[in-house]
Structure 1
Amino acid sequence: MDLRDLYWVIVLLFSVNGIDAMTRAQMKNTGKLMRNSCMKKIQVTDDLIGGLEQGNFIEDKKVMCYIACVFEMTGVVKNNKINYEASIKQIDMMYPPDMKESAKGAAVKCKDVPKKYKDLCEASYWSAKCMYEYDPKNFFFPVSNSAGMMAKELCWLMLAVFFADGIEAMTRAQLKKTGKLIKTTCMKKLQVTEDEVGNIEKGKFIEERKVMCYMTCVLEMSGVVKNNKINHEASIKQIDMMYPAELKEPAKAAANHCKDVHKKYKDICEASYWTTKCLYEFSPDNFVFV
């Protein structure tokens, strides 16, 4: 996923959820999507990267490139180089008050480390190690897989990238790509396979509990599910914010056509499944799902 494709996930969650004060615990949770995506991209294991926050920097190329991947996803890397100004901007946006001073101190101390390395992976690795050594107690890096990520916490990850780079006009191709991070997280959470959920966009709706709850997970992470119910207003807001011009009208028509389907079901997984199926059946050519 290109960073500019990720931005639209960012804007979506920011707009439909809003954000509140960032806590230290929430900041740790924000890394889960980055972790999952970068582990898959680099093909690195927990054994190699699981101890980074505790200072266990294994000098391995995969570990180095995992760190570079995380930096890229947060917008700290620009033109294949670590950008000091973007790092400071991210700290100002994401970090809680009790960590800002230390994080900025680490960024200042380590800002020249990348200049020693031509290779981005090496530059990222030694920069991260430098920041850890500056203040181990306040060092943050997305390696934890123990906590779930709420939509508001995901917003912070997204805002970091959003304000680091900015966004451009949305295309239909980008709309499809925005769901990759959400898909990865929800597939892992529900333990579903590509065979089970990979062709939903083509109308393959397998009537299984895991598939139904996968759809709920996707809707929750996109801010459409609120208080365990599908929210029609949030759906319309999502369409207005994210969808390209040629898809807005058919998407809104489908949302209006299917807005009462969920009321037939007490179970949120069933409600999500049958609502999504309704959206597909209303307009297969304009249906988009991850």
Structure 2
Amino acid sequence: MLVKINAFKYFLTLLACTGVNAVTMQQFESSLDMMRNGCAPKFKVATEILDNLRAGEFIENNGELKCYTRCIAQLAGTVTKKGEFSVQKALAQIPIILPPEMQEAAKAALNACKDVQKSYKDSCERVFYTTKCVRDYDPATFKFP
């Protein structure tokens, strides 16, 4: 599993170092699968629930699912050492990990949802509800590993 996580981080580093401004939709969707493969084995969450999450369905009474979303955010480099979701880090990742057609919607959603996490103490819940807010802001553009 560590190999899968390192492979994803290598992928992001490679994109950043090669000067690629954005990925294609196909590359982005492949990265979603890599991220899922890096985090899913750590949590007891059925594939069906993860598939539903990818489609934008958030099950709020599932602690494992909440921590899965934090794991994904950690892989993307958007969680601070204190376990908070960092909008600044997420905004910095947008040009690297999202295709151009998703970037403006993602920026707007992140800015609209930046304060959601203040209502939660638990790191998993902070990330989960911020992610849910992003989905609610623009369901048509939302995609999640």
TM-score, normalization: structure 2?
0.84
Report the alpha carbon displacement of residue 241 of structure 1 after superposing the two structures with TM.
Answer: 2.0
In 1: Cα distance, 2:129 partner to 2:71 partner: 14
Per-residue CA shift, 1:20-71, capped at 9, x if unaligned? xxxxxxxxxxx7234xxxxxxxxxxxxxxxxxxxxxxxxxxxxxxxxxxxxx
**Can you give the 5+ residue segments of structure 2 that lack an aligned partner in the other structure?**
none
Distance 1:247 1:187, change over 3 A: same
Aligned residue for 1:162?
14
Does structure 2 retain, via aligned residues, the 8 Å contact 1:258–1:279?
yes
Aligned residue for 2:65?
211
Aligned residue for 1:187?
40
In 1: Cα distance, 2:45 partner to 2:137 partner: 26
Aligned residue for 1:284?
139
Does structure 2 retain, via aligned residues, the 8 Å contact 1:176–1:289?
no
Q: Which has the higher contact order (CA 8 A, sep 6+)?
A: 2
Does structure 2 retain, via aligned residues, the 8 Å contact 1:33–1:181?
no
- The amino acid that maps onto 1:162 is L
Q: CA RMSD in A?
A: 2.4
- The number of aligned residues is 139
In 1: Cα distance, 2:131 partner to 2:9 partner: 27
In 2: Cα distance, 1:248 partner to 1:268 partner: 25
Q: Give aligned-pair identity as a percent.
A: 31
- The amino acid that maps onto 2:10 is M
Give SS of 2:140's match.
Answer: helix
In 2: Cα distance, 1:282 partner to 1:157 partner: 28
Distance 1:274 1:156, change over 3 A: closer
Confirm whether residue 199 of structure 1 aligns to residue 52 of structure 2. Answer: yes
In 1: Cα distance, 2:73 partner to 2:120 partner: 16
**Can you give the 5+ residue segments of structure 1 that lack an aligned partner in the other structure?**
1-30, 35-148
In 2: Cα distance, 1:283 partner to 1:259 partner: 15
Distance 1:191 1:257, change over 3 A: same
Say which of 74, 77, 80 aligns to 1:226.
80
Does structure 1 retain, via aligned residues, the 8 Å contact 2:56–2:142?
no
TM-score, normalization: structure 1?
0.44
In 2: Cα distance, 1:33 partner to 1:244 partner: 25
Which consecutive segments of 4 or more residues in structure 1 shift more than 6 A?
Answer: none
